[in-house]
Copies of this chain bind each other. A is one copy, B any other.
């Protein structure tokens, strides 16, 4: 082992981990990228899989495939269970250990229920491909069950869709669900009237898209209401079960609740035996290493980073990518013998969100866009950032098709058979 190369282990093949691996392409190191899934996921478009506009494979690619032209990386599909910082080893579920010289932890976040984990079965979140197809199944099965339901109250509950949290994901889901529902109903269901459909967006704060400029929040709110979405602001959810959701002094009977309200970092702090903030994130040093563990870096949604102006770096794809590249640079500098600390500087590109089929809001800070023009910019930006050429072509065609025909192509219910009139939840477990 005398002459072996510096070994970099990256845990997580999301935006951060992948960017770090790619930025180390020309470095004289051996990289092992470990992920428990075989694919990198373009999460910003996941809501379009959940609402039947796109196919899973249009926004997810095998990590091996993405790194096939990079010789210094080995991809391992495995589940990490811990880190032994003393012996510099990553522990895998099957009991084996992978030694590292530098470790990059980029394991991302999951949805979190603010201490109400019992809500999860009734209000799935949207983080993985499986989450998205499960929500798609739930949405489509609710329409199928409503078509067969004659009792007015049960029928109303089946045709009511509640989304909790009005950040970009919640807003995008609300707009897409009302369009999916109305387009599906048009000419395809016999007993459902488009006006029977209710989409309710529930937000604890005082405005939708709280990270955007207030004028864009106002515009989004007005747009959503014009589309028919009921928006309930300033209410925290107090109860939630198989039949509905309670907030403030209201109660909505619904069979479909989607959670877009909060995330928590994966358990990296536990692995390292150090402190984390309330959301499970680790406060990192300016160069993104873990304090007192200079060989371990934490990036993306697991890292808590404060910008020079005191604001936190947001949990978005560009931030994770920039952090991944930064850590690669730090490692290469150290290998070249330069140990002077290199602080991370985050460049905020802007915030984007779509509101339905042909409207969006974009907040660049210095420039604010809204309406159809913003939608085109949003679409072009997303197509540009997609990882694969073929995907760019396919998604462009898919969107054009939906735009022109109003038909969503991926309206498949898989792993779900005919809904019974009895408990809908049981059907979903199939």
Contacts and interface: CB of A to CB of B under 8 A. Distances in A.
B68 A409 contact: no
B188 A412 contact: no
Contacts of A184: 64
A413 B37 contact: yes
A169 B266 CA distance: 43
Contact of A188 (B68, B129, B147, B390): B68
Interface string A127-152: 00110010000001000100110000
Given A37-B417, A129-B412, A420-B94, A189 B64 contact: yes
Contact of A418 (B68, B79, B130, B188): B79
A188 B56 CA distance: 21
Contacts of A419: 77
A70 to B, nearest CB: 10
Which of A64, A391, A422 has the most chain B CB within a 10 Å cutoff? A64
A186 B62 CA distance: 14
Contacts of A415: 130
A348 interface: no
A364 interface: no
Number of copies of chain A assembled together: 2
B68 A140 contact: no
A419 B79 CA distance: 8
Contacts of A407: 65, 390
A50 to B, nearest CB: 14
A414 interface: yes
Given A397-B393, A414-B133, A421 B148 contact: no
Nearest to A36: B418
A39 interface: yes
Contacts of A414: 56, 129-130, 133
A411 interface: yes
A187 B418 contact: no
A94 B331 CA distance: 63
Interface string A175-186: 000000000101
Contacts of A57: 55, 409-412
Interface string A401-413: 1000101011111
A74 B174 CA distance: 28
A380 interface: no
A75 B418 CA distance: 12
Given A189-B64, A422-B94, A412 B56 contact: yes
Contacts of A38: 140, 144, 411-413
A45 interface: no
Given A57-B412, A129-B414, A130-B414, A190 B78 contact: no
A29 interface: no
A60 interface: yes
The 9 closest A-B pairs by CB, nearest first: A64-B188, A57-B410, A77-B144, A36-B418, A55-B55, A38-B413, A79-B418, A78-B418, A68-B187
Given A62-B412, A77-B418, 17 more contacts: A38-B412, A57-B409, A60-B412, A64-B184, A65-B188, A65-B411, A68-B186, A69-B187, A74-B190, A79-B418, A94-B421, A129-B412, A129-B414, A130-B415, A390-B407, A391-B409, A394-B394
21 contacts: A37-B413, A38-B413, A39-B412, A55-B55, A55-B56, A55-B57, A57-B409, A60-B412, A62-B411, A65-B188, A65-B407, A65-B411, A68-B188, A77-B144, A77-B418, A79-B418, A93-B420, A130-B414, A390-B407, A393-B397, A394-B397
